[in-house]
């Protein structure tokens, strides 16, 4: 008996050396990523990394190219900076975890917590005493030190007056439909406004979005309800064609103001330009692969990836 693999999805990206999530249309059984920039150029670097179903979180099988283009079989052990499969086809939120003791008021924010989520998880932060600006918001977890802390990589907390002295959370699967609403962490005042979101937003160049900022406590009320076209993206930023240069500054309110009742700014999908089809509303419970720093390539490297699944069994 054999179980042939079918190609599920493939793509490329320019690495910024930071860990990232590759969203996939279904769960996968085999994932491979190659470094187009360094392949055959005799660097001392990982040029190919693979993941098979059954690998532990953070694990990878790698090929490292040394001097003279010699390839060496290497590996990243479980818990390392390799791959972690993300499967959120079940959209029920996780149980309340009430063991966190603090969140730094820094960018990114670091949560002191002995109970760790997994890198790539989306967590809703709750009961964030003294930092109630973020209570109820979801964040992508971008790094974990097991038993010690985890990082909210897209949290723009440097402007907050105080660190949180408590930090409960729930793990939140993404909503059933894509593209989805995303909470805003920051908006630049610029000729092309850049919106930072608290989670990986999934929007693509050509998406048309509406920026909702109905609460004057966050500043920049002029942008409320404006629609724009996405001209560039990173995992958590959206560059738009909205000219916000003359707008008042955006800033999160104090913890006390947030506690008194606010509506957090958010971005919602509006439509798309006629040349793309990738932003069609679709029921896509999130599956994906988290690529940690050991497999994501160096800054500016072009990375090609492919995901395979068992389409059928014979």
99 neighbors 147 (Cβ within 8 angstroms): no
Shortest Cβ 69–another protein spacing (Å): 44
Residue ranges binding another protein (CB under 8 A)? 91-93, 96, 124, 126-127, 132, 135-136, 168, 170, 174-177, 179-181, 208, 210, 212, 214, 225, 227, 258-264, 266, 268-274, 277, 279-283
CB of 286 to another protein, least distance (A): 11
Query: Residue 81 or 135: which CB sits closer to another protein?
Result: 135
Q: Are 232 and 167 in contact (CB under 8 A)?
A: no
Q: Give the phi and the psi of residue 259 in degrees, each rounded to 5.
A: -65, -25
- Minimum CB separation of residue 186 from another protein in Å reads 19
Nearer to another protein, 29 or 279 (CB): 279
Of residues 141 and 262, the one with the C-beta less far from another protein = 262
Whichever of 34 and 180 has its CB closer to another protein, that residue is: 180
What is the C-alpha separation between 94 and 100, in angstroms, rounded?
Answer: 16
Kindly tell me which of 79 and 214 has the beta carbon lying closer to another protein.
214
List Cβ neighbours of 29 (8 Å cut-off, separation of 6 or more). Answer: 5, 52, 53, 308, 309, 310
- Cβ-contact 227, 285 below 8 angstroms: no
Cα distances (angstroms) measured from residue 1 to each of 283, 313, 314: 33, 8, 6
Report the nearest approach of another protein to the CB of residue 93 (Å): 5
- Tell me the closest approach of the beta carbon of residue 227 to another protein, in angstroms: 8
The residue written with tokens 């990982």 in the block is 46
Let me know: does 177 contact 281? Beta carbons within 8 Å.
Answer: yes
Provide, rounded to whole angstroms, the least separation between the CB of residue 221 and another protein: 13
DSSP state of 165: S
Between 33 and 182, CB nearer to another protein: 182
For residues 303 and 34, the answer to whether their CB atoms sit within 8 Å is yes
Least separation, in Å, of the C-beta of 298 and another protein? Answer: 36
The Cα–Cα gap between 64 and 215 comes to 52
Beta pairing partners, 112: 102, 149
51 exposure class (CB count in 10 Å sphere: 0-12, 13-18, 19+): buried
Residue with tokens 């076209």: 229
Q: Which is nearer to another protein, 64 or 231 (CB)?
A: 231
* Residue owning tokens 């919602």: 268
Nearer to another protein, 55 or 139 (CB): 139
The answer to whether 17 and 303 have CB atoms below 8 angstroms apart is: no
What minimum distance in Å lies between the beta carbon of 247 and another protein?
Answer: 19
């Amino acid at each position: 008996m054999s179980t042939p693999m079918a190609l599920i999805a493939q793509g490329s990206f320019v690495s910024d050396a930071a860990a990232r999530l590759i969203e996939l249309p279904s769960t996968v059984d085999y994932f491979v990523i190659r470094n187009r920039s360094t392949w055959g150029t005799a660097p001392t670097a990982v040029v190919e990394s693979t993941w098979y179903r059954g690998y532990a979180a953070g694990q990878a099988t790698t090929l490292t190219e040394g001097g003279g283009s010699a390839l060496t079989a290497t590996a990243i052990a479980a818990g390392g900076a390799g791959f972690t499969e993300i499967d959120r086809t079940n959209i029920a939120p996780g149980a309340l975890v009430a063991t966190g003791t603090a969140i730094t008021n820094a960018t990114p924010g670091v949560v002191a917590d002995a109970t760790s989520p997994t890198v790539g998880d989306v967590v809703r932060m709750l009961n964030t005493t003294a930092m109630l600006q973020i209570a109820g918001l979801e964040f992508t977890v971008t790094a974990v030190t097991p038993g010690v802390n985890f990082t909210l990589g897209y949290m723009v907390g440097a402007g907050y007056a105080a660190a949180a002295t408590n930090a409960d959370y729930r793990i939140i699967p993404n909503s059933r439909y894509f593209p989805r609403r995303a909470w805003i962490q920051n908006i630049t005042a610029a000729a092309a406004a850049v919106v930072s979101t608290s989670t990986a937003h999934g929007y693509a160049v050509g998406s048309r979005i509406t920026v909702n900022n109905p609460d004057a406590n966050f500043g920049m009320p002029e942008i409320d309800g404006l629609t724009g076209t996405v001209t560039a993206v990173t995992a958590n930023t959206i560059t738009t064609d909205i000219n916000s240069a003359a707008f008042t500054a955006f800033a999160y309110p104090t913890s006390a103001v947030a506690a008194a009742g606010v509506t957090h700014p958010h971005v919602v999908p509006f439509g798309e330009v006629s040349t793309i089809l990738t932003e069609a509303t679709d029921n896509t419970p999130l599956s994906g692969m988290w690529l940690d720093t050991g497999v994501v390539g160096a800054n500016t490297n072009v990375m090609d990836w492919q995901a395979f699944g068992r389409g059928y069994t014979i």
